[in-house]
Amino acid sequence: MSGSFAGFVRDARRRGNLVVQPRMGFSDPAEMRAGLLATKRARATAVGTVTLDSYTRVGDHDAVARALAEGLALNGYPIVDHDPATTDGVLAGVRDETFPVQVRHGSPLPESIFAALVSAGLDATEGGPVSYCLPYSRAPLKRAVRSWARCCERFATLADRGVEPHLESFGGCLLGQLCPPSLLLAMTVLEGMFFRQHGIRSMSLSFTQQTSAAQDEEALRGLHRLIDEYLSDVDSHVVLYAYMGVHPRTPAGSFRLLADATRLAVRGGAARLIVKTPAEAHRIPTIRENVAALEYAAEVAVDPATRRLVGESVADTGVHAEARALIEAVLDLHDDLGTALLLAFAAGYLDVPYCLHADNRGRARARVDGAGRLRWTAIGSMPIGHLVRPPRDAGVTSAELLSSLHYVERKYDRAALHAAPTRELRAHELDAGPGVAAL
């Protein structure tokens, strides 16, 4: 449908453009509007983001009301508690066919958020019944599954009004910095199937940049295969998240990491990239810093060196086969995807390493190996024993866990310190463009 979030990404993909997107969210409506305008004016094929605050994510609207009454800044935009006219004012003259906007939130029980974004005329958001429950909340998974089923069904009714609702699964980012990619692929595809079962026909499937470029590219290629196998009857695209774990602390290291994320997105066939900025190792980034990251990623995406290896084959180390085995095991449990997901976590068929949620069995473990690849060290009851042979007595010590968590930070900061200044370093001083200059 013309003018939709999904339609914009489809058109960009046809033109060969990578869509880039910030994580931007501000509680002050004027600042939120300024951030969207700056993103719209950036030298990039970009979409806007309204990221919500943490109180709204957990439904603590009393805390939001107190902060707004006292003029205190929140770490995102409280779309539920701002008057609808205020949100209309933020979006007026900003959101249009050339610049769609997505709401990002992190809530396991998002009914009020869906109601607010639908009321604001927005057609795109993200999350999922598992991916926004296990890492971020103590809400029972059963309650989250029911809530997300209701939200999907309500959101899907926008199609009756000629609007194409688009929902992005966060499943490919589920504690992704220490989660082998097969589980991330299985989770985002299963959430996509859950969305479809509850009426959503336009979606994006996610994956996050991890610790090995080769393993990540294999995973993205595998995700495309899984979409063809399980979700070929819906309109979909792949979205890649720039690395979400402990970030390099040097600007040059951070921009090198973003450059690698951009190259991965292009070579792995992702249509959209969620960027990160150097500031996020220390604080919430400014509008200018967000735009600089967007423009830098857009520049790297069109570099001939980035596109030169598109279509080259990648080694098959079994990521797709593991993911497919996990998906098939879940589908065998029940015809209803929500019920199947609950049964899968109860049985340990899905088990997220280092996730402390009460509904996660917590028997799976992984580490970064000497080549920088994520490897299972324990698979618990996950039905991939015929594909994975974790080493015996491969317990992960606290020191090894800490080392794995900081692997990417060390790798990119060391590279930055020992390399001559490059475009990555110069990018830290990029003019952020007319979008910021006009603020």
Give the tens place of pLDDT for each residue, 113-159: 999 999 999 999 999 999 999 987 899 999 999 999 999 999 999 99
Q: Is 291 within the bounds of a domain? A: yes
Mean pLDDT in residue range 320-340: 98
| C-alpha torsion angle, residues 403, 405, 410, 412 (rounded to 10) | 150
Band (pLDDT 50/70/90 cuts) for residue 435 is very low
Q: Which of 404, 355, 354, 360 is nearest to 381 (CA)?
A: 360
pLDDT at 394: 61
More confident residue, 391 or 377: 377
What pLDDT is stored for residue 423 in this prediction?
Answer: 53
Beta-strand pair 202-208/124-127: unpaired
Mean pLDDT of 88-114: 96
Judged against a pLDDT cut of 90, whether residue 184 lies above it is answered with: yes
The answer for residues whose C-beta is within 8 angstroms of residue 108's C-beta and 6 or more apart is: 129, 132, 133, 136, 137, 139, 143, 144, 147
pLDDT at residue 226, rounded to an integer? 98
When the pLDDT of each residue in the chain is averaged and rounded to a whole number, the result is 91
Number of helical H runs and strand E runs in the chain = 18, 10
User: Rounded to whole angstroms, how far apart are CA atoms 399 and 363?
Assistant: 19
Q: Tell me which residue range forms the domain holding 212.
A: 5-313
* Secondary structure (3-state) at 224: helix
Kindly report the CATH number assigned to the domain that includes residue 285: 3.20.20.240
Task: Judge whether 62 lies within some domain.
Answer: yes
Indicate whether 245 belongs to any domain: yes
- Identify whether 252 is part of a domain: yes
Structural domain count, the chain:
1
Q: Looking at the domain assignment, is residue 423 inside a domain?
A: no
Is residue 347 situated within a structural domain? no
Does some domain include residue 320? no
- Indicate the pLDDT class of residue 176, thresholds 50, 70 and 90: confident
CA 270 to CA 265: how far, in whole Å?
5
163: tokens are 């609007």
Instruction: For residue 429, name the pLDDT band (cuts at 50, 70, 90).
Output: very low
pLDDT at 427: 47
Say if 399 falls within a structural domain. Answer: no
What's the rounded Cα separation, in Å, for the pair 369 and 367? 6
Q: What length does the chain have?
A: 439
- Tens of pLDDT along 14-43? 999 999 999 999 999 999 999 999 999 999
Q: 349: which DSSP letter?
A: S
**What is the value of pTM for the model shown?**
0.94
